[in-house]
Amino acid sequence: MFSVLILLTGSVLFYLAWDIYTGHKNNRIQLNKELKIDELKYDIIYLDEVLTMSARMGAATGNSKWNDGEGIQHIV
């Protein structure tokens, strides 16, 4: 009877340890995904600002190089 209780306790402790381990692993994976999404978000905002400024420069100067993309240096 005592050995059954020891086995049951060990099984429960193993399950809890495994659950904690996989939970931390999944949190780390999720954090990496969120960091990548944030990085892409800032890249998109930056490129939007560059294209907006190019359109404004084209409208302000009347120079077609801004509309053709020649006024924008290689960004990415």
Residues 6+ apart with CB under 8 A from 43: 76
State how far the Cα of 46 lies from the Cα of 48, in Å rounded to an integer: 5
Model confidence, pTM: 0.58
Distance CA 3, CA 10 (A): 10
Q: How far apart are CA 43 and CA 49, in angstroms?
A: 10
Q: How many angstroms separate the most distant Cα atoms in the chain?
A: 91
Q: Give me the pLDDT at residue 44, please.
A: 92
Residue 72 has pLDDT above 70, yes or no: no
